[in-house]
C-alpha cells in the first residue's frame, strides 16, 4: 500500500488548496463578490482534488478499490486535522468560526470539497479499473 505516497499526494493537494485560498481572497472575491468567489473557489479546489487523485492512481498502478477508500479516508482525516489544527492553534480562531466553514452559508462549498476529497481516490481507482478492463 503506497501509504507514504498517499500522504505526499495529499501534500500536493494542500499546496494547491493554500494557493486556491490566496486566489480566492486576492482576486475571486474582490472581482466576483463573496458568494460567487466562494462558489468558484470550492469548484476549483474540487477539480484539483479530482485531478490529483486521478494522477496519483495513474502513477500508482495496482491500487485496489479498498485501498482507494482508505486513501480517501486518510486524505479527509489529514484535511480535517490540518483545518482544525491550523485554524485553532495557529490562527487562533474560535471553534464556532471554524465550524462555520462546514455550512453552505454564503456560497461556501467546503463541505462539497470534503466529500470530493473522501471519494476522489476511490472514483479514480474505479475509473482506472474500468478503462483497464475495456482496453
Cα-atom radius of gyration of the chain, to the nearest Å? 16
What's the grid cell of residue 126?
A: 474505479
How many domains would you assign to the chain?
A: 1
For residue 125, give every residue at least 6 positions away whose Cβ sits within 8 Å of its Cβ, in sequence order, or none. 57, 63, 64, 65, 67, 68
Q: How many CA atoms lie within 13 A of 130 on its CB side?
A: 6
Reported as a single tens digit per residue, the pLDDT across 14-66 is 999 999 999 999 999 999 999 999 999 999 999 999 999 999 999 998 899 99
Q: pLDDT tens, 55-99? A: 999 999 889 999 999 999 999 999 999 999 999 999 999 999 999
Query: d(Cα 40, Cα 29) in Å, to the nearest integer?
Result: 9
Domain holding 20, by residue range, is 3-134
Q: How much is the pLDDT for 26?
A: 98
Amino acid at each position: 500500500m503506497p501509504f507514504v505516497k498517499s500522504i505526499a499526494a495529499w501534500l500536493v493537494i494542500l499546496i494547491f488548496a493554500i494557493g486556491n485560498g490566496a486566489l480566492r481572497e486576492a482576486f475571486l472575491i474582490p472581482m466576483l463578490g463573496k458568494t460567487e468567489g466562494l462558489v468558484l473557489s470550492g469548484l476549483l479546489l474540487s477539480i484539483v482534488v479530482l485531478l490529483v487523485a486521478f494522477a496519483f492512481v495513474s502513477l500508482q498502478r495496482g491500487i485496489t478499490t479498498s485501498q482507494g477508500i482508505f486513501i480517501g479516508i486518510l486524505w479527509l482525516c489529514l484535511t480535517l486535522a490540518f483545518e482544525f489544527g491550523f485554524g485553532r492553534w495557529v490562527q487562533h480562531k474560535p471553534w464556532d468560526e471554524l465550524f462555520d466553514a462546514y455550512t453552505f452559508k454564503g456560497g461556501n462549498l467546503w463541505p462539497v470539497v470534503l466529500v470530493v476529497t473522501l471519494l476522489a481516490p476511490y472514483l479514480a481507482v474505479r475509473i482506472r479499473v474500468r478503462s483497464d478492463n475495456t482496453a
